[in-house]
C-alpha cells in the first residue's frame, strides 16, 4: 500500500479545487455543481463547503446525481440506486461534475447521459480528486484535478473519507 494523499494533502487539494472553480466561474451566477453518487459526493460536499467560505451561499447551486441505471455494466449485477437531488434546471447552465477518481471515463460518460434528463447545459466541466490518466477507455479529461497519478490496471486507488471511513486519505494498493 502506497500513500497518494495524506489528510493534509486531501484538505489542500479540496481548497485548491474550490479556488480553481471559483476562478473560472467568478460569481457562480450561471454555474451549477453536481456531485456523482455515491463516492463523488464526499468530494463535492467538501468543495461546496469551501465555496461557502469564499462566496455568498445563495449563489451556490449544488445537486447530487445518481448514475446507477446509466452505467453500461448495470446488467451484470444487482445495483441499489442512490438518491438524485437536483432541485433546479441545468438548462443553459455551466455544469461542473465532481467525482473522486477518473480512470476509464465510463462513470463520467454515465453522468453525462444522466444529466441530459435535467436539461441541456451550456457547458460541462469535470472536477476530480484523482486522475488515473492511463487506461482511459473514452476520450474524457478532467478540467480540475487534485492529483494525477500513473497506475497499472491491476492496482486500485482507495479514497477514504472521514464521514464514511474515519479518515481522509488516498492510497494505492
pLDDT of residue 137: 93
Please report, rounded to a whole number, the percentage of residues in the chain having pLDDT higher than 70.
Answer: 95
Report whether 98 contacts 127 (CB < 8 A). yes
147 burial (CB, 10 Å; 0-12 / 13-18 / 19+) is middle
pLDDT of residue 135: 87
pTM assigned to the model = 0.94
Report whether 85 contacts 38 (CB < 8 A). no
**In this predicted model, what pLDDT tens digit does every residue of 80-97 receive, in sequence order?**
678 899 999 999 999 999
pLDDT of residue 81: 73
pLDDT of residue 95: 98
Distance CA 98, CA 111 (A): 10
Which domain covers residue 61, as residue numbers?
Answer: 2-172
Report whether 147 contacts 13 (CB < 8 A). yes
Per-residue pLDDT at 78 exceeds 60: no
pLDDT of residue 60: 95
Please report, rounded to a whole number, the percentage of residues in the chain having pLDDT higher than 90.
Answer: 85
Distance CA 150, CA 131 (A): 9
Would you list the DSSP string of 92-115? Answer: T-EEEEEEEEESSSHHHHHHHHHH
Backbone torsions φ then ψ of 49, nearest 5 degrees? -65, -40
pLDDT of residue 139: 95
* Domain CATH number, residue 31: 3.40.50.2020
Q: How many domains does the chain have?
A: 1
Measured at the alpha carbon of residue 24, what is the angle toward residues 116 and 14, in degrees to the nearest 5?
Answer: 85
**In this predicted model, what pLDDT tens digit does every residue of 8-61 receive, in sequence order?**
999 999 999 999 999 999 989 899 999 999 899 999 999 999 999 999 888 899
Output the average pLDDT for the chain: 93
Residue 121's pLDDT band, with cuts at 50, 70 and 90, is very high
pLDDT of residue 75: 58
The conformation of residue 151, written as its DSSP 8-state character, comes to -
Amino acid at each position: 500500500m502506497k500513500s497518494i494523499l495524506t489528510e493534509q494533502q486531501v484538505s489542500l487539494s479540496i481548497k485548491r479545487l474550490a479556488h480553481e472553480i471559483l476562478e473560472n466561474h467568478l460569481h457562480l451566477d450561471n454555474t451549477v455543481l453536481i456531485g456523482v453518487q455515491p463516492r463523488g459526493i464526499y468530494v463535492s460536499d467538501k468543495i461546496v463547503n469551501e465555496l461557502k467560505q469564499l462566496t455568498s451561499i445563495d449563489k451556490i447551486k449544488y445537486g447530487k446525481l445518481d448514475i446507477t441505471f446509466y452505467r453500461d455494466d448495470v446488467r451484470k449485477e444487482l445495483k441499489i440506486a442512490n438518491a438524485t437531488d437536483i432541485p433546479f434546471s441545468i438548462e443553459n447552465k455551466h455544469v461542473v461534475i465532481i467525482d473522486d477518481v477518473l480512470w476509464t471515463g465510463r462513470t463520467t460518460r454515465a453522468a453525462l447521459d444522466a444529466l441530459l434528463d435535467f436539461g441541456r447545459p451550456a457547458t460541462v466541466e469535470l472536477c476530480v480528486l484523482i486522475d488515473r490518466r492511463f487506461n482511459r477507455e473514452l476520450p474524457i479529461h478532467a478540467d480540475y484535478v487534485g492529483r494525477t497519478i500513473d497506475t497499472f490496471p491491476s492496482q486500485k486507488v482507495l479514497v477514504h473519507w472521514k464521514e464514511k471511513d474515519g479518515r481522509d486519505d488516498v492510497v494505492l494498493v
